Amino acid sequence: MSKSEKISQVLNESNTDLNLHEIKAKTGAGNGFKYHTSTSKSSLINNTNKSKKIYDIVTNIEGKINLHKIKSQTGAGNGFKDLSSNNIKENISDSRAYAHKSHKIHAIFHASDRKLNLHEIKAKTGPGNGYKQH
């Protein structure tokens, strides 16, 4: 069974909305191998829920489905979680207010009710990019 078929099967059998991490965990998709596919009819990105965007793209896509195509057309998997406090980065962006990276990470983590993963923390703080903040 191809990755596209696995992704479609997992989405069809799921009783809940899935994000890209859950799709990857259930299908093994996104392992670094690129598929050359045809373009999709739907490439518009709007402000609807990411799970809804993923579902719309997957059900209307032409050709094989892969996580890179889903991400490029939905914005899903961009490191930002749909939270009511989506402006955490702007609220805690003054690097002068924190003497150490860990203080900034701690503040962001607790300001988001501890619902962030490492990718989201990195996207909001910058640590982990190989450059030391001064």
Q: What per-residue confidence (pLDDT) applies to 77?
A: 59
User: Which residue would you say has higher pLDDT here, 88 or 68?
Assistant: 68
Domain range list for the chain: 1-32
Q: What is the mean pLDDT of residues 52-72?
A: 71
Per-residue confidence band for 89, with pLDDT thresholds at 50, 70 and 90? very low
Per-residue confidence band for 111, with pLDDT thresholds at 50, 70 and 90? confident
CB neighbour list of residue 119: distance below 8 Å, 6 or more residues apart: 79
Place of tokens 């980065």: 89
User: Which residue would you say has higher pLDDT here, 34 or 116?
Assistant: 116
Token output for 76: 């899903």
Q: What per-residue confidence (pLDDT) applies to 32?
A: 52
State the average pLDDT for the chain. 63
Secondary structure letter of residue 40 according to DSSP = P
Token output for 55: 């579902």
CB neighbour list of residue 78: distance below 8 Å, 6 or more residues apart: 71, 123
Q: Is the pTM of this model over 0.85?
A: no
CB neighbour list of residue 109: distance below 8 Å, 6 or more residues apart: 116, 121
Per-residue confidence band for 37, with pLDDT thresholds at 50, 70 and 90? very low
- DSSP, collapsed to helix, strand or coil, labels residue 83 as coil
Q: What percent of the chain has pLDDT over 70?
A: 39
